[in-house]
Amino acid sequence: MTDKLEALSQPVGWTTQEELNEANGGVGWMFLSPMKQPDEIALYSQEYVTALLNENAELKASLSEWEDCKHDGATYHDMSGRERCGRCGADL
């Protein structure tokens, strides 16, 4: 996690499920410190949520190179002696 994401990862407020249900698209209460309620819900800034969604998209894109592996790279043998692809780890 980057320093910026770490700084943004702190909740900006808290609410409860009851408040969310009562708000129903309108206005509800938001508390600036934890209420220590069993149904307490942390609220995060839109900037933090957007940053997490962008990071998730980048990670998914980088995964495609592993998912699309055609096993044409280096190989290794695992502890059981099976030959595996050095790129994606699949049995060969």
CB 84 within 8 A of CB 75: yes
Task: Provide the CA 81 distance to its chain's centre, in angstroms.
Answer: 35
- Helix/strand/coil for 14: strand
Domain boundaries, the chain: 3-85
Q: Give per-residue pLDDT as tens, 11-29.
A: 999 988 888 888 776 777 8
End-to-end CA distance of the chain: 34
Q: Does the predicted TM-score (pTM) go above 0.85?
A: no
Dihedral-angle region of residue 10 (phi above 0 means left; psi in -120 to 50 means alpha; beta otherwise): beta
Instruction: Say how many CA atoms lie within 13 Å of 57 toward its Cβ.
Output: 6
Which of the four pLDDT bands, split at 50, 70 and 90, describes residue 45?
A: very high
